[in-house]
Amino acid sequence: MAWLCCKACNWSQDEFWSEDYTPLDELARDYSREILMRSETAVVEKWIAEELGQSYEMKGDLCHVSWKDYMVSVLQEAENKVKNMRFRTEAEYHAYKAVNGTKCPVCGAVDALVVEPY
């Protein structure tokens, strides 16, 4: 488990793929069944609805967005994770690091790649 980012550009990657994890596994596990079987709305934090540019309705302290808008945003997030991924596996990252050190894989800045385990 690791968070990778560049100090020089805005690229980041939040995970390596493994036998136990891909972004699609995360979708299936955390979102799709629950959201698809839900009634009309999903409850999210207000800043999420605003960041997604979705219309929302406040009911007390709870921010409701349509289940369809929420599902689209979840799919877009998964798409972005795949698009931003430069190292599918930790082994790919170590092979890159052995040749390139901490050079950013996106902008090429030297000594810019940061890896934080979590």
The one among 8, 35, 48, 72 contacting Zn ion by CB under 5 A:
8
Using CB under 5 A as the binding rule, whether residue 115 contacts Zn ion is answered as no
With binding defined as CB under 5 A, does residue 104 bind Zn ion?
A: yes
Find, among 60, 71, 86, 72, the residue nearest to 36 by Cα: 71
Q: Does 113 bind Zn ion (CB under 5 A)?
A: no
Q: Are 109 and 8 in contact (CB under 8 A)?
A: yes
Which residues touch 50 (CB under 8 Å, ≥6 apart)?
A: 56
Scan for tokens 């890159």, then name that residue.
Answer: 96
- Supply the minimum distance, in Å, between the C-beta of residue 84 and Zn ion: 11
Among 1, 9, 58, 62, binds Zn ion (CB under 5 A): 9
Candidate residues 28, 62, 91, 107; the one interacting with Zn ion per rule CB under 5 A: 107
CB-based contacts of 16: which residues, under 8 Å, 6+ apart? 1, 2, 87, 88, 89, 90, 92, 93
Shortest distance, position 16 Cβ to Zn ion, whole Å: 18
Which residues contribute to the site for Zn ion (CB under 5 A)?
6, 8-9, 11, 104, 106-107, 109
